[in-house]
Amino acid sequence: MEPAGATVADLLDAAAARSPQSTAVVAGGESLTYAELDARANRLAHHLQSVGVEPDTAVGVCLNRSLDMAVAVWAVQKAGGACVPLDPSYPEERLAFMARDAAVTTVLTRADLVARLPAETATVRVDLDAGRWASCPTTPPPRSTGPEHVAYVIYTSGSTGQPKGVLLTHRGLVNHHLAVMELYRLAPGDRVLQFASIGFDASIEEMLPSWAAGATVVFRPEDSPLLGGDWLGWLRDQGITVMNLPTAYWHAWARELDGSGWQVPEGIRLVVVGGEKALGPAYSAWRRISGGRSRWVNAYGPTETTCMSTFYEAPPDIVDDRDPPIGRPLPQTTVAVVDDDLRPVLEGVAGELLIGGAGLARGYHHAPDLTAERFVHWPPGAVPAARMYRTGDLVRQLAGGDLEYVGRIDGQVKIRGFRVEVGEVEAALARHPSVAEVAVVARDDPPGGKQLVAYVVGADVDAGDLRRFLTERVPAHLVPAAFVPMDRLPLTVHGKVDRDVLPAPSRLPHRPAPRSPAEDRIAAIWARVLGVEVDGVGPDDDFFELGGHSLLATQVIAQVRDEFGTGTPLRAIFQAPTLGALAAVVEAEAVGAEAGPPLVGRPHEPGERFPLSLAQEQMWGLETAAVPQGLYNITALHRFQEPVDPDALRRALAYVVDRHEILRCGVIVEDGRPWQFLARSAPVDLELAAVGDDELQSRIGDQDALPFDLARPPLLRAGLYTVDARSHRLAVTLDHLVCDGTGAAIFMSELLAAYEAEVSGRAPSLPPLPVQFTDFAAWQRSHVTEEVQRRQLAWWTGVLDGMPLGPVVPFDHVPDVPTRRIASRPVSIGPRTRDLLDEVARATGATVFTVAVAVAGALFGRRGTSTDVVMSTTLSGRTRGELEDLVGMFSGIGRLRTDLSGDPTFSEIVTRARERVLGMFDNQDIPFMRVRRALLPDFPTEGPEVAAALPVEFQYFHVSQDQELFFRGQLHPLSLTLLDDGTRISGEWSYKLDYYEPSTVEGLAVDLERLLDAVGADPSLRFSELPVTQAGRR
């Protein structure tokens, strides 16, 4: 028989022909030989064909463990139908859904079970209707079933609350059965326990490969206890040699045997476990109670890949109690471990497991969208690409090649800002000598937000002892808030821990309220900046665990300075990140402190003029010297995929321009000094144009390139470009003097909100702005005095003295006459890697931004020529909460200098970068051009020498959604921009083709991904150990 073309029925036919007189099945004291089982099944199969069963016809089997169930399973396969197992113990509502969803034509059942099925379902009662097929032939009926037809439809739990049907093919089942027969060494002398519910795919593995090998399948009694001495006696009496058990049940059985002094029955030669993570301490107990007489296999595989995909057999001489891995793939099975963007991860890095090969299911019944989502072509874009199943399971590949199960992606939860994998907590608790079984869940019902709760089975379990035990072994955020003792963990009908019925703990710790007046005032600031309830902020709460990052930290410190009249530095919140600790620092500083000038809004009259902000003044110098003019424009883009109302869009534009005074300002020069003035009105025209898809980008580029007359506001223009009825591109170009990148995103967000209101017949109504940009510009001039700027200049010159010039990554070539040809390569960092960076940040007392700075510096150092890495960066300038929603030109320029000398660990690199980042934020008011003039008075101003002197640019922005910006004013030959929305990081590499080849930047991009995975998994790696495809020469 050729496996490639075989069906399940072919395997059964062959087994019956080989061993007709061997016992095939035992149930309740009765048995059938292979010849008897084959004859009964063939008669029933002929009858099923006579009532319309053919390939892919769904036939239900709703029977308890019995000889009739064995006959029914064989008959459906021999008739060529698709078996839909319906466990009679399921609720009637679930049985009805499954029968209707699978469109079963017939259900094989017994008379006493018919009432549990939908009334409209056609039934064949195997106990009463056998006379209808008694005269049918005992030989196999003809069938046209092929390997791609459906053999089984197994229903698994669905995220919608309704189960989903998985279509298992003959090809997948035959591949599985042949592999299992060889792996388990199944033979006619074996007696294989049938333990699982018929509705669980493990029942397939217990029955069909055993029958294909000529072994005996022994059904366990329906009403027998599955633990205790009677159970052991039954196993011995039945001569069971092979058991396939749910992991949770096996844990409980091993605990009972180990505690009672009983031994595993001598005849059991193989025990297979699967369904959940197997714990090392349980396997250690198993070695003791089995005496080394039986093989032990840890099997893994979702239903969608046909029962089992990987396996691990523990070596007999294993001595440690580490959790057993899930091993390696079965024959004709492929696996890959990938990140959120389906890119392979490094060895040792956790990623999602993809499975492909012969065992893949056809998909989900009546769910094409879900099938397309979970069964993907991989690698993306490859031709040809393999079909792979996205398991949703996190694994990592160990050094020896085995896969280690980490947990479910949807089992990851955020606790106080930390990514937590509950399986990690369970594994740590399981190592406590008093703990026999444990389940950990994240509960939303306790007061104070989501917290971990541990449910523990064991003798003399003490919550305090468990808490101390964990505290010595795992970070604080992995220690559960409550420990609930249990006699045993509840199990589902499939033998898995039923987490849904675990009881709520009787009491969980409440967060204390702020205790001092200073804590009260700072808690109110945190609540405003973080958008949380002030009552939920306690003295021991950590600002960064509540969702804070470096930009929000600057806003907190600015408000603290105003509130208390102190000069509290930004580093204070990093060194004292809890509410109580920060309040103590501020209280100490507040003694004798004097408040600076407040930032308040006031009415402004048309024609009134105002000073430029420091960032505006710097940009004015760059703009007026730029060639060509208009180089520093910035264009915000939005794609509409529905018809657009131009009149409503014009009204929305007018609303936003009226809301932000800076958009009605122009710039004039008097006595050599620039001033901005407020115009009485500044109407914005919306250009409408129909364009072809091929000319869209050039039209947007033309709009962006046109310079503004600075004396004639508004310094913005808008165009709506229509490609077809359902594809429109809105482009809004703003002069950089009135808007930075963050402001452009604010503008577009408010414009779309106003447009949505207009088309809905409502007047736009956004929250009032507490101040205008012109208020800020005037305040900054009085706040950032010449003395302040001199102090900040001293810091910058001290930090940057002796810095190397030019990009640390050498040019591929230098042009005689530079052009403006720019290319880009996208960056995508998925949620898991982003969470790992978050954990590194918390462990080093830094922010994700600082970790990203360290990653970029380490990358350029490894790929470049120096351990003294300097990067240019953009500073937000929005250091106060009042400025968060304001359009304007706040952003400035800074330098990030990373010291990589002495081969530091990555954690040490982060610590070094943190000090520089904090100092940069504390000294960001001074225009960087003043710093550069002080450090480098002979810095070139034109020609290739400018590019040769500029460092690599690194930009990092916190965004609420993906921004789409068009900007032609890139000065730096190489730029890396990252956009962090708190869940994932996107962005791009942008580079000038005059200086870098695409292959060079592609190598940098690949190395960035490798390095992120590596340091996220192990921040103790030294600089010299960080993985890159090509290290630079120093």
Band the pLDDT of 701: cuts 50, 70, 90: confident
More confidently predicted of 468 and 168: 168
Band the pLDDT of 862: cuts 50, 70, 90: very high
Band the pLDDT of 503: cuts 50, 70, 90: confident
Contact of 87 with 117, CB cutoff 8 Å: no
pLDDT at 446: 42
- Alpha-helix residue ranges (DSSP H) falling in 367-446: 368-374, 422-429
Band the pLDDT of 1: cuts 50, 70, 90: very low
Find the range with the poorest average confidence among 160-174, 285-299, 542-556, 769-783. 542-556
Contact of 989 with 976, CB cutoff 8 Å: yes
C-alpha triplet 777, 783, 786: angle, nearest 5°: 105
* pTM of this structure: 0.61
CA nearest to 290, candidates 302, 278, 282, 298: 282
Find the range with the poorest average confidence among 226-235, 365-374, 512-521, 586-595. 586-595
Q: Highest-confidence range of 101-115, 317-331, 539-553, by mean pLDDT?
A: 101-115
pLDDT above 90 for 159: no
- Name 207's Cβ contacts closer than 8 Å, sequence gap at least 6: 70, 73, 192, 194, 217
Structure tokens at 383: 């031709």
Contact of 186 with 180, CB cutoff 8 Å: yes
From CA 466, how far away is CA 741, in angstroms rounded? Answer: 51
pLDDT at 540: 81
pLDDT at 570: 85
Contact of 947 with 638, CB cutoff 8 Å: no
pLDDT at 512: 57
pLDDT at 561: 84
pLDDT at 56: 94
- Name 740's Cβ contacts closer than 8 Å, sequence gap at least 6: 615, 634, 877, 888, 889, 890, 891
pLDDT at 508: 46
From CA 277, how far away is CA 427, in angstroms rounded? Answer: 9
From CA 840, how far away is CA 848, in angstroms rounded? Answer: 8
What DSSP string describes 736-805?
TTT--HHHHHHHHHHHHHHHHHHHTT----PPPPSS-HHHHHHHHHHHS-HHHHHHHHHHHHHHHTTPPP
pLDDT at 448: 39
Band the pLDDT of 792: cuts 50, 70, 90: very high
pLDDT above 90 for 750: yes
List Cα–Cα distances, 657 to 660, 708, 762, in angstroms.
Answer: 6, 16, 18
Band the pLDDT of 731: cuts 50, 70, 90: very high
Contact of 874 with 892, CB cutoff 8 Å: yes
Over range 803-831, report the average pLDDT: 85
Band the pLDDT of 513: cuts 50, 70, 90: low
| % pLDDT > 70, the chain | 92
CA nearest to 1010, candidates 982, 1029, 984: 1029
Fold of 406-505: GMP Synthetase; Chain A, domain 3 (3.30.300)
Band the pLDDT of 996: cuts 50, 70, 90: very high
More confidently predicted of 987 and 193: 193
Over range 676-692, report the average pLDDT: 92
More confidently predicted of 598 and 430: 430
pLDDT above 50 for 535: yes
- Name 467's Cβ contacts closer than 8 Å, sequence gap at least 6: 479, 480, 483
Contact of 240 with 272, CB cutoff 8 Å: no
pLDDT above 70 for 967: no
Domain boundaries, the chain: 332-395, 406-505, 517-590, 609-778, 785-1025
CA dihedral 1022→1023→1027→1031, nearest 10 degrees, is: -150
pLDDT above 90 for 220: yes
What would the pLDDT profile of 376-389 be if each residue is shown by its tens digit?
Answer: 999 877 767 789 99
CA dihedral 303→308→310→311, nearest 10 degrees, is: 140
Band the pLDDT of 415: cuts 50, 70, 90: low
What would the pLDDT profile of 296-317 be if each residue is shown by its tens digit?
Answer: 999 999 999 999 999 999 877 6
Q: Highest-confidence range of 18-32, 377-391, 392-406, by mean pLDDT?
A: 18-32
- Name 468's Cβ contacts closer than 8 Å, sequence gap at least 6: none
Instruction: Indicate if 609-778 has the same CATH topology as 332-395.
Output: no
From CA 514, how far away is CA 520, in angstroms rounded? Answer: 6
Band the pLDDT of 800: cuts 50, 70, 90: very high
The reply to whether omega before 379 is within 30° of 0 (cis) is: yes
Over range 137-166, report the average pLDDT: 86
- DSSP lists the bridge partners of residue 353 as 337
From CA 928, how far away is CA 950, in angstroms rounded? Answer: 13
Q: Which helix (H) or strand (E) holds 290?
A: helix 280-290
From CA 561, how far away is CA 312, in angstroms rounded? Answer: 60
Secondary structure of 914-956 in HEC code, one letter for each residue: HHHHHHHHHCCCCCHHHHHHHHCCCCCCCCHHHHHHCCEEEEE
Give the count of beta carbons closer than 10 Å to the beta carbon of residue 317: 6
Contact of 474 with 424, CB cutoff 8 Å: yes
Over range 953-978, report the average pLDDT: 75
The CATH code for residues 332-395 is 2.30.38.10
Contact of 340 with 306, CB cutoff 8 Å: no
From CA 492, how far away is CA 246, in angstroms rounded? Answer: 10
C-alpha triplet 612, 616, 621: angle, nearest 5°: 110
CA nearest to 60, candidates 99, 116, 92, 90: 99
CA dihedral 84→88→94→95, nearest 10 degrees, is: 50
From CA 87, how far away is CA 255, in angstroms rounded? Answer: 29
Over range 39-60, report the average pLDDT: 95
The CATH code for residues 609-778 is 3.30.559.10
Superfamily of domain 785-1025 in CATH is Nonribosomal peptide synthetase, condensation domain (3.30.559.30)
The reply to whether omega before 539 is within 30° of 0 (cis) is: no
The number of residues in the chain equals 1034
From CA 475, how far away is CA 477, in angstroms rounded? Answer: 6
Over range 816-841, report the average pLDDT: 84
Fold of 517-590: 1.10.1200
Give all strands (DSSP E) within 256-411, no chain letters: 270-274, 295-300, 310-313, 328-329, 333-338, 351-357, 363-364, 375-378, 386-397, 403-408
Over range 857-861, report the average pLDDT: 94
More confidently predicted of 977 and 478: 977
Write the Ramachandran bin of 292: left for phi over 0, alpha for psi from -120 to 50, otherwise beta.
left
pLDDT above 90 for 476: no
pLDDT at 129: 87
Helix axes 550-564, 848-863, angle to 10 degrees: 130
Band the pLDDT of 507: cuts 50, 70, 90: very low
What would the pLDDT profile of 244-298 be if each residue is shown by its tens digit?
Answer: 998 888 888 888 888 888 889 989 999 999 988 888 888 888 888 887 788 999 9
Band the pLDDT of 477: cuts 50, 70, 90: low
Find the range with the poorest average confidence among 89-103, 496-510, 960-974, 985-999. 960-974
pLDDT at 970: 64
- Alpha-helix residue ranges (DSSP H) falling in 543-670: 550-564, 571-575, 579-590, 614-625, 646-659
Over range 897-918, report the average pLDDT: 94
List Cα–Cα distances, 183 to 296, 298, 329, 541, 546, in angstroms.
Answer: 12, 12, 12, 53, 50
From CA 352, how far away is CA 342, in angstroms rounded? Answer: 8
CA nearest to 522, candidates 551, 563, 554, 550: 563
pLDDT at 2: 45
pLDDT at 447: 38
Arithmetic mean of pLDDT over the chain: 87
